[in-house]
């Protein structure tokens, strides 16, 4: 359903483990951006640390999310 989680869905330990495995399979740059974002860093902060534009980091992040959704579908 558009890659969105149904309201009220509870993540299981298996879901989290599956996500971690799939994140680890991403190319290094995508994996780094995903992990930094989920640590609470903003796209702007990640961009600054990587000497890139926020738009470029956002694009890499979105590409990674698409790959993760497909892998976990």
pLDDT, tens digit (0-9, with 9 covering 90-100), for 15-64: 889 999 999 999 999 999 999 999 999 999 999 999 999 999 999 999 99
pTM for the structure as a whole: 0.80
pLDDT at position 1: 41
Q: What gap in Å lies between CA 27 and CA 66, rounded to an integer?
A: 13
Answer positive or negative: Cα dihedral of 72, 31, 28, 13: negative
pLDDT at 9 over 50: yes
**Chain centroid offset of residue 25 CA:** 12
Cα angle 64, 43, 59 (rounded to 5 degrees) comes to 40
| Residues contacting 7, CB < 8 A, separation 6+ | none
| Confidence at 5, pLDDT banded by 50, 70, 90 | low
pLDDT at position 58 is 96
């Amino acid at each position: 359903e558009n890659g969105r989680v149904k309201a009220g869905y509870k993540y299981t330990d298996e879901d989290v483990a599956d996500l971690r495995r799939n994140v680890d399979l991403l190319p290094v740059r995508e994996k780094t951006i995903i992990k930094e974002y989920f640590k609470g860093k903003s796209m702007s902060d990640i961009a600054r640390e990587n000497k890139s534009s926020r738009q470029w980091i956002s694009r890499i992040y979105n590409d990674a999310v698409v790959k993760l959704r497909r892998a976990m579908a």
